[in-house]
Amino acid sequence: MVKWLAVAFAVALACAWALSVDPAAAQAARDPLIVPDEGGNGSRFQVVGQSGWTPGETVTIGLAFTEADPLHYAGPFEHERQVTVLRDGTWSFPINVGSDLLAKPLDDVPGYIVVRAQSPTKTAINAFVFSPGGRRPAGAESIAHLGFGPPEADPTVASTLALFIGATGALFLASGAGRRRAPTA
């Protein structure tokens, strides 16, 4: 009886974990969307507010440069531009990457151009990966494709838990099988 409960519990846990992964969430675009999400001096990218913006409001787009984690950048934002939200709750603004973009010139140092879009009702942050000469900034691989999807969930904990539960179930099965074979006195 105990072995079947352990097996049922392990299977139920594995199924629950597998069903909790939402593949559509990985495809959802981060707002504001940045297209393309990487480039060097002379490149151009589009900042797009996709949904949840109030029509008619003014969105202030703040820009800054950092070599560190762009999604935790708190400021200051050196350059600001404004755009009005359209009737469908979206907006779009082009950015040309050049020496006149920020208060300090962009050198050949890889980093991130942090983009903060702020209106009275919503604030969103994303970043353009600045890779002069194709050299990516440190950590770009772990923050890859900032413009596409939410931060990916780490499956390590759930996988470890599922393996632990499965191993526990296997031990229950093995101990039950061992008890049947043991000679009784």
Closest CA to 101 of 113, 83, 84, 117: 113
All residues at 6 or more sequence positions from 43 whose CB lies less than 8 Å from its CB, including other chains: 36, 97
Residue 19 lies in a domain: no
**Angle, helix 2-20 to helix 156-181, in steps of 10 degrees:** 160
Residue 77 lies in a domain: yes
Residue scoring higher pLDDT (153 or 108): 108
Could you give the CA distance from residue 140 to residue 130 in angstroms, rounded to a whole number? 10
Could you give the CA distance from residue 14 to residue 20 in angstroms, rounded to a whole number? 10
Residue 76 lies in a domain: yes
Assign residue 129 the CATH number of its domain. Answer: 2.60.40.230
Q: Indicate the pLDDT class of residue 101, thresholds 50, 70 and 90.
A: confident
Residue 46 lies in a domain: yes
All residues at 6 or more sequence positions from 75 whose CB lies less than 8 Å from its CB, including other chains: 62, 64
Closest CA to 30 of 124, 116, 153: 124
Closest CA to 130 of 33, 50, 34, 32: 34
- pLDDT number for residue 54: 92
pTM (2 d.p.): 0.61
* Mean pLDDT across the chain: 76
- pLDDT number for residue 71: 81
Largest Cα–Cα separation, the chain: 90
Structural domain count of the chain? 1
Q: Indicate the pLDDT class of residue 48, thresholds 50, 70 and 90.
A: very high
Could you give the CA distance from residue 133 to residue 160 in angstroms, rounded to a whole number? 41
Residue 140 lies in a domain: no
Output the CA torsion 158→164→165→168 (10° steps): 180
- Please tell me the least confidently modeled range out of 46-55, 73-82, 134-143: 134-143
Is-contact 34 126, C-beta < 8 A?
Answer: yes
What is the span of the domain harbouring residue 84? 29-134
Residue 41 lies in a domain: yes
Cα separation values, 42 from 6, 39, 45, Å: 61, 8, 10
- pLDDT number for residue 25: 46
